[in-house]
Structure 1
Amino acid sequence: MVISTTIADSDQNLHSTFASRYVRTSLPRFKLPDQSIPKDAAYQIINDELMLDGNPRLNLASFVTTWMEPECDKLIMSSLNKNYVDMDEYPVTTELQNRCVNIIAHLFHAPIGEDDAAVGVGTVGSSEAIMLAGLAFKRKWQAKRKSQGKSCENPNIVTGSNVQVCWEKFARYFEVELKEVKLKEGYYVMDPEKAVEMVDENTICVATILGSTMNGEFEDVKLLNNLLMKKNEETKWETPIHVDAASGGFVAPFLYPNLEWDFRLPLVKSINVSGHKYGLVYAGVGWVVWRTKDDLPDELVFHINYLGSDQPTFTLNFSKGSSQIIAQYYQFIRLGFEGYKDIMTNCHENTMVLKEGLEKMGKFNIISKDIGVPLLAFSLKDSSKYTVFNISESLRRFGWIVPAYTMPPDAQHISVLRVVIREDFSHSLADRLIADIIKVVHELEGARFTADTSGARDGGTVEHVEHGLRPMERGIAKYLRRFIHGKKTSSVC
């Protein structure tokens, strides 16, 4: 076994302590090396650097799946060399994608017959899916305006200021104004009434979120649909709705089957969902489905034949891997409705375990809702001594990655911590996280040992703060206490 560490002794070169077994020259950081090195050395250099990354399963900032079954891992590895766009060469992969689109469309109650094909496409993630849905809305709006002899200038989308940054990207890249409904303290999702008030004849769609990244809450799509139908009837504008279900699309059908948010509502014309979130697939795969074929303009669909047969395509990317699409189909047939429901129920229960533990501490306000995606967002009741950012930073030494952030306008004075509960976050990990948060809060409130020897001399502070410290910290405290009182010692542990 080769044991090594890789360190950077300058900004330009990498040196490996084990490399003398293979090569004695350092590697340039930003230029191609002059010569090849053995595969073992290349592997070890990269592997050593990657050890400094965080543990994906302790990354509670991310919605993205970090564990799959070994059988699915095998399918992914066996298909890494398949380019999805080569539909003529890999027709089975194309068929699996089409099956996934139809499964999702039926899950979201698209009005399609048993023998009809659903309209949708696999994407790299929800960001690409949102771009495609936004383009379809823009082109539909432009076509209608042209047919009416009206200007196509200044299209806009109405949404909440809690939208994910991909919506801002779409607006900037494709020259669409983003009209945002501001948030307020205690109400951290888009207000449907305010959203409908902002709709005008240039609004290409209203975008609503099923599972806000800020606090996991579902926006009221049904109320938005009803209010917008009334306004459309009065104005004859026919403004549609897009549902960004990146986080909640694979949660709501299993935990809240009677909640009306999808194609059961007549103004919902397209929905995006992330397969790599609660679809339970590694990054990156997303999906976008349309209500009917008429909601996707034909002019956006390209037909190519230089890879074989005629291939219709509507994506921003061209070449992409097949692995995640195959993995998505594996999860669908492996788990079925019952399996997904069990997993989402378990995630919800673990969220409640964490919530109860935090509530018992009495230090936090829970701002998540019980109905939403499995996550917990919480703020400090008192931020005068320390902040959520201090807690987030302190938790990193235990391996936890828990993000702290401020809410969007006009609630930016509220700072929160957020924990996303995924399939691989167990009850025991929830208990462990609660215990570590208690330790961190205890330390930040003044119980953490410090090397303030003057305080120790005056009042025995060292002995007072030892309670609750980790073994190594207690050892250091014991050593310093002996040193302060003039006792010799040969060990710090």
Structure 2
Amino acid sequence: TVLLSLDVFGFSVSRSALDVTGSPRTHVPVCSGGVPASFPARTIKSVCWEKFARYFEVELKEVKLSEGYYVMDPEKAVEMVDENTICVAAILGSTLNGEFEDVKLLNDLLVLKNKETGWDTPIHVDAASGGFIAPFLYPELEWDFRLPLVKSINVSGHKYGLVYEGIGWVVWRTKEDLPEELIFHVNYLGVDQPTFTLNFSKGSSQVVAQYYQLIRLGHKGYRNVMENCRENTIVLREGLEKTEKFNIVSKDEGVPLVAFSLKDSSSHTEFEISDMLRRYGWIVPAYTMPPNAQHITVLRVVIREDFSRTLAERLVIDIEKVMRELDKLPSRVVHKISLGEEKSEANGDKLRVTVKKSDMEMPREIINGWKKLVSDRKKTNGIC
């Protein structure tokens, strides 16, 4: 398992260090070396990173997203690096839209900054989602140990590693990149056993399952699985595009998923679509983007190994049904009520009051709105 895993990440086996743990916890041993002070370049808030920063009193610096650009900007990330930075983290497979961050550009920019400053700031790649995708679908993409500043990589075996939930892998470039002071040695099991995880007693079934999958499928098998996922992603994306109702937010190169938003959300929202799809047996999350892009709402469908072409076509059909049902419902109307064009005696301004109410809201709320409207009118010019 160790040999195969390291081969996937483009690295020689001879001088490596590897650990097996639950995927979210891999960030703690990875980033705990040295004296933590600042840790820039997170673009998407994840509770595992926030826990690490709080437990180890690390300043977590985040590169803000912007509309249309939902991954880390390497130039902005490098600008945030200072002499106390312990590492820069890049995501291979955004939670929001599956996009791969440009680890190669980040590495090149950071190499220049390290030369200018004399610092030695490394890179950690959070490949939880993309670590078992990029090696098979995009083998020429440089994101792993082929880049000199990439010192550690974590990947989830329970995502596209095709194993049960709860297994994650973290690989260091060399043993020297894993500080010795973080390793504890115990011999109460009869032999010396080094350990540096935060996990305690845990079964080995997940490790065995990962070993079985790697042996059974091999490179060719994993490549076939990932290519099939990509093909079904294309089927779903093209089906949604044909409806002419959605903008595709996800990218062609990345995790096999489709993230999309409504072209026109004035009548209905992505949350309504998500809710109504449950009636057809689909759990499709709707969520807003992080700050600076939080006015954007998207739906996301992750294509797994067992998500067939037939299911992709069926999902498109069910989404079209939902859209037709929503079109039959009353729209979210904005009522503009003009209370006269006469000028106010007080200040000579035209008086126009706009009340925004949904036709689907409770009648009591509508009545209260009208009462407030009349009350405000009385206070303004004394006319009922």
Q: Displacement, 1:170? A: 1.1
Matches within 5 A, 1:275-294: 275-294=157-176
Contact persistence 1:101–1:287 (CA under 8 A): no
> What SS class does the counterpart of residue 405 from structure 1 fall into?
strand
The answer to whether 1:209 aligns with 2:113 is no
Match of 1:120 among 5, 18, 23: 18
Q: In structure 2, what is the equivalent of residue 194 of structure 1? A: 76
Contact 1:302/1:313 (CA < 8 Å) preserved in 2? yes
> Where in structure 1 do 4 or more consecutive aligned residues deviate above 2 Å?
none
The one of 237, 252, 264 equivalent to 2:134 is: 252
Contact 2:41 2:77 in 1 (8 A): yes
> Are residues 1:172 and 2:54 paired?
yes
Aligned-partner Cα distance in 1 for 2:220–2:183: 36
The one-letter code of the counterpart of 1:402 is V
- 1:152-211 alpha-carbon deviations (Å, 9 max, x no partner): xx7111123224331122111211111000000000000000000011111110000000
What's the counterpart of residue 344 of structure 1? Answer: 226
Opposite residue 278 of structure 2, the aligned amino acid is R
CA distance, structure 2, for counterparts of residue 257 and residue 396 of structure 1: 37
Determine which of 302, 321, 326 is the counterpart of 1:444.
326
Letter of the 1:102 counterpart: L
Residue matched to 2:2: 101
1:310 maps to 2:224: no
Q: CA separation in 1, counterparts of 2:192 and 2:240?
A: 57
Q: What does 1:1-400 correspond to in 2, within 5 Å?
A: 100-112=1-13, 116=14, 118-124=16-22, 126-136=23-33, 139=34, 142=35, 155-400=37-282
1:319-349 deviation per Cα after TM superposition (whole angstroms, max 9, x unaligned): 0111110000000000000000000000000
Aligned-residue offset at 1:410: 1.3
How many Å separate the matches in 2 of 1:201 and 1:405? 36
Could you tell me how far 1:431 is from its partner in structure 2? 0.8
Partners of 2:265 and 2:328 in 1: CA distance: 14
Distance 1:338 1:110 in 2: 19
Counterpart CA distance in 1 for 2:110 and 2:241 is 38
What 5-or-longer segments of structure 1 have no aligned partner? 1-99, 143-153, 449-493
Deviation sequence 1:121-151 (CA, Å, 0-9, x none): 1102x21111111113xx2xx3xxxxxxxxx
Q: How many residue pairs align between the two structures? A: 330
CA contact (8 A) 2:155 2:169 kept: yes
Partner of 1:474: none
Structure 2 Cα separation of the partners of residues 407 and 165 of structure 1: 16
Q: Is the 1:111–1:263 contact (alpha carbons within 8 Å) kept by the matching residues of 2?
A: no
Post-superposition offset of 1:445: 1.0
C-alpha spacing 1:156/1:192, structure 2 compared with 1 (3 Å):
same
| Aligned residue in 2 for 1:404 | 286
The alignment-based identity, stated in percent, is: 70
Cα distance, 1:101 vs. partner? 2.7
Residue aligning to 1:81? none
Aligned equivalents of 1:420 and 1:172: distance in 2?
31
Distance 1:104 1:408 in 2: 33
- Superposition TM-score, scaled by structure 1 size: 0.66
Instruction: Report if aligned partners of 1:101, 1:122 keep a CA contact under 8 Å in 2.
Output: no
**Contact 2:15/2:175 (<8 A) preserved:** no
CA offsets 1:61-113 (integer angstroms, 9 cap, x no match)? xxxxxxxxxxxxxxxxxxxxxxxxxxxxxxxxxxxxxxx2332122112244x
SS of residue matched to 2:51: helix
Q: Deviations over 1:383-409 (max 9, x none)?
A: 111111110111111111110000112
Greater shift in the superposed pair: 436-445 or 126-135: 126-135
Inter-partner Cα distance in structure 2 for 1:336 and 1:415: 38
* Cα distance in structure 2, aligned partners of 1:279 and 1:118: 20
Instruction: State the secondary structure of the residue aligned to 1:219.
Output: coil
Q: Secondary structure at the match of 2:141?
A: coil
Residue type of the alignment partner of 1:252: A
Q: Distance in 2 between matches of 1:409 and 1:160?
A: 13
Aligned AA (2:6): A
Q: Which residue in 2 is equivalent to 1:50? A: none
Give 2:268's aligned amino acid: Y
Contact 2:137–2:227 (8 Å) recurs in 1: yes
Amino acid at match of 1:135: S
Q: Is the 8 A contact 1:164 1:213 kept in 2?
A: no
For the aligned residue pairs, the C-alpha RMSD in angstroms reads 1.2
CA distance in 2, matches of 1:435, 1:129: 40
SS at match of 1:203: coil
Tell me, in whole angstroms, the C-alpha distance in 2 between the residues paired with 1:168 and 1:379: 28
CA distance in 1: counterparts of 2:148 and 2:271, whole angstroms: 43
Unaligned runs of 5+ in 2: 331-384
Match of 1:430 in 2: 312
